[in-house]
Amino acid sequence: MNLANTPRAGRIELPDYAGWLATDVFGGAGFPAVGAAGGYDVTLGSRDFFWLKLDAPGQAEPGPVEGARAAEIGEQVDFTALSRPAPPAAAAPAQKPTAANTADHEEGSAA
């Protein structure tokens, strides 16, 4: 994650994952493999991030990770769930704000 106003480059040392393939979790785009010595160079734009998964050579599945989605601000996320198969039934979507529940919230915060 890069919270700076300018792009940043860095190296992540992943010696146990040399040769593994990186894939974007949300879009499924392929990234270069981790180098033979375990180094992984990454360049991020200003206020940018990548959420990558690593697959052993020959094990990569193209496309986004099933069930992956962007988290809401303040939401607790179980990151280990991304490495497991998706549950058979999808969870109900979060309640969207309406005039009724927004008014209730504003009423409670004004007290």
pLDDT tens-place string over residues 29-86:
888 899 999 999 989 999 988 889 898 888 866 566 666 666 666 777 666 655 545 5
Identify each DSSP E strand in 1-111 by its residue range: 8-13, 21-24, 30-33, 39-44, 52-55
The pLDDT tens digits for 3-17 are: 999 999 999 999 999
pLDDT at 59: 80
The stretches of 1-111 forming alpha helices (DSSP H) are: 99-110
For the chain, give the mean pLDDT.
75
Angle at 35 between CA 30 and CA 38, to 5 degrees: 120
* d(C-alpha 88, C-alpha 19), whole Å: 32
pLDDT computed for residue 111 by the predictor? 47
3-state secondary structure of 82: helix
Global pTM value: 0.52
Task: Measure the CA–CA gap between 34 and 40, rounded to whole angstroms.
Answer: 5
